[in-house]
């Protein structure tokens, strides 16, 4: 079995799917590993480091694409790359199967088996493969660091001979994996932190990190959508959150917003009025930007200044922490590979619930029902 590691081609991508330290167990099982030259460089892994663990460095990307039986990636391969893949090969990565399913058609039609890290079920057995949580952890940390860097104030309270410097006030919206890491990071820097989430269960986790949980009376509606995720709320329930956000924004130096509902556009929680309520020099980091953003003024990928407030809308913060983001992702991938590589050979058994959950396509057909539905031909307007 040949396992290939490509240099990621997406703009500004710095991560690599597998670092040298993760390859040892695969090589011990007899797998051959080819790494595209320079694949790990931006993440701190030199070609020599791959050679030292027994991998081969190859400059010819096309030859890796054509010969690899297993291809772990960070981002989905481009159309041109997919057209070169070996039929029957397996690709594992953040393939965005629900956001951009049609982009995967060339690989599906070639009979490539696609596994999406976004679809790995969030069950206890698969926790070590939960790459979404790994990347959310990195993004939550980096969002606070980016805000601290832009803020014209310091985070900690300081008592000096020249007087007292008040602590930065940080407001975190959405206390899931990214939000909790943002809270922890802001607290470590000495900020005073408040947080809001629609899931009541988040309250205890927020308080355990030394932050204040802001409760909103949502009228007793169900806010849990299953699997620990939030449900999509009515406009009326969203409005109650929006009111709290305007009030809290007025005394916040930094807002980090992370609210998401799986498979839906990010809830629009932050209206223009909330941004206008913030003091000039304040910083708002919209981590929901890849899903459209929590703030109605967000332009995904663009940094704006609005009435002196800096609005950051990063699309790929984990790529700004490439070594640790790759390290965590690499471990998630190698744990996933443990389910499909047996004794050094590729062996896919979709009876395994983790594999069935993560599988996008197998043997030329979409396996995931949501992806299959999205790929159904759309009726032509006006036809019967
Ligand atoms: P996510 O990225 O989908 O959402 C981020 C946060 O936004 C969530 O906490 C959600 O409740 C919140 N949110 C959604 N709509 C909101 C709104 N209108 N207003 C305010 N907040 C809103 O979620 P996530 O961070 O990936 O995970 C959420 C939870 O899932 C975790 O905290 C954890 O309890 C659970 N989880 C379980 C596992 C596992 O069992 N393996 C793994 C990861 C996460």
CA of 294 to the centre of ligand 1 (A): 14
Q: Is 197 in the pocket of ligand 1 (CB under 6 A)?
A: yes
CA of 178 to the centre of ligand 1 (A): 8
**Atom 7 of ligand 1: nearest residue by CA position:** 259
Distance CA 99, CA 219 (A): 32
pTM listed for this prediction: 0.95
CA of 258 to the centre of ligand 1 (A): 9
Q: Is 268 in the pocket of ligand 1 (CB under 6 A)?
A: no
Residues 35-55 as b/e (b if ≥16 CB within 10 A, e otherwise) read bbeebbebbebebebbeeeeb
Question: In terms of Cα–Cα distance, which of 117, 7, 135, 115 is closest to 70?
Answer: 115
Contact 93, 73 (CB under 8 A): yes
Question: For residue 346, what is the enclosing H or E element?
Answer: strand 345-346
* pLDDT tens profile 322-367: 999 999 999 999 999 999 999 889 999 999 999 999 999 999 999 9
* pLDDT tens profile 24-61: 999 999 999 999 999 999 999 999 999 999 999 999 99
* pLDDT tens profile 287-304: 999 999 999 999 999 999
Q: Is 22 a catalytic residue?
A: no
**What is the phi-psi region of residue 30: left when phi exceeds 0, alpha when psi lies from -120 to 50, beta otherwise?**
left
pLDDT at 384 over 70: no
Dihedral (CA of 355, 357, 363, 364) sign = negative
**Catalytic position from the list 69, 229, 324, 370:** 229
Atom of ligand 1 minimally distant from the CA of 177? 25
Residue with the two structure tokens 């694949």: 39
Residues 127-163 as b/e (b if ≥16 CB within 10 A, e otherwise) read eebbbbbbbbbbbbbbbbbbbbebbebebeeeeeeee
Distance CA 97, CA 102 (A): 8
């Amino acid at each position: 079995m040949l396992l290939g590691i490509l240099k990621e081609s997406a703009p500004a991508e710095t991560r690599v799917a597998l670092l040298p330290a993760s390859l040892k167990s695969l090589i011990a099982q007899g797998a051959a590993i080819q790494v595209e030259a320079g694949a790990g460089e931006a993440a701190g892994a030199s070609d020599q480091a791959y050679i030292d663990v027994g991998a081969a460095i190859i400059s010819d990307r096309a030859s890796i694409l054509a010969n690899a039986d297993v291809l772990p990636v960070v981002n989905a391969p481009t159309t041109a790359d997919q057209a070169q893949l070996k039929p029957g090969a397996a690709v594992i990565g953040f393939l965005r199967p629900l956001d951009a399913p049609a982009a995967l058609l060339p690989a599906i039609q070639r009979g490539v088996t696609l596994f999406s890290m976004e679809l790995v079920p969030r069950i206890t057995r698969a926790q070590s493969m939960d790459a979404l949580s790994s990347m959310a952890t990195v993004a939550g940390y980096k969002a606070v660091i980016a805000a601290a860097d832009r803020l014209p104030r310091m985070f900690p309270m300081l008592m000096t001979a020249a007087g007292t410097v008040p602590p930065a006030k940080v407001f975190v919206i959405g206390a899931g994996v990214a939000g909790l890491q943002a809270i922890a990071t802001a607290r470590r820097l000495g900020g005073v932190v408040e947080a809001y989430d629609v899931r009541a269960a988040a309250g205890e986790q927020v308080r355990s990190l030394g932050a204040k949980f802001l409760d909103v009376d949502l009228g007793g509606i169900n806010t849990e959508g299953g699997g620990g995720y939030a449900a999509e709320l009515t406009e009326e329930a969203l409005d109650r959150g929006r009111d709290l956000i305007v009030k809290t924004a007025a005394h916040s130096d930094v807002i980090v917003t992370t609210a998401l509902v799986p498979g839906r556009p990010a809830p629009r929680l932050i209206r223009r009025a909330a941004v206008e309520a913030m003091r000039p020099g304040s910083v708002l980091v919209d981590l929901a930007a890849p899903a459209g953003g929590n703030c109605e003024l967000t332009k995904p990928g663009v940094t704006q200044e609005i009435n002196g407030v800096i609005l950051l809308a990063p699309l790929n913060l984990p790529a700004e922490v490439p070594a640790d983001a790759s390290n965590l992702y690499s471990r998630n991938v190698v744990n996933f590979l443990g389910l499909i590589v047996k004794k050094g050979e590729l062996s896919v058994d979709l009876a395994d619930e983790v594999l069935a959950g993560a599988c996008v396509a197998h043997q030329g057909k979409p396996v995931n029902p949501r992806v299959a539905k999205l790929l159904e031909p759309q009726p032509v307007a006006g036809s019967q």
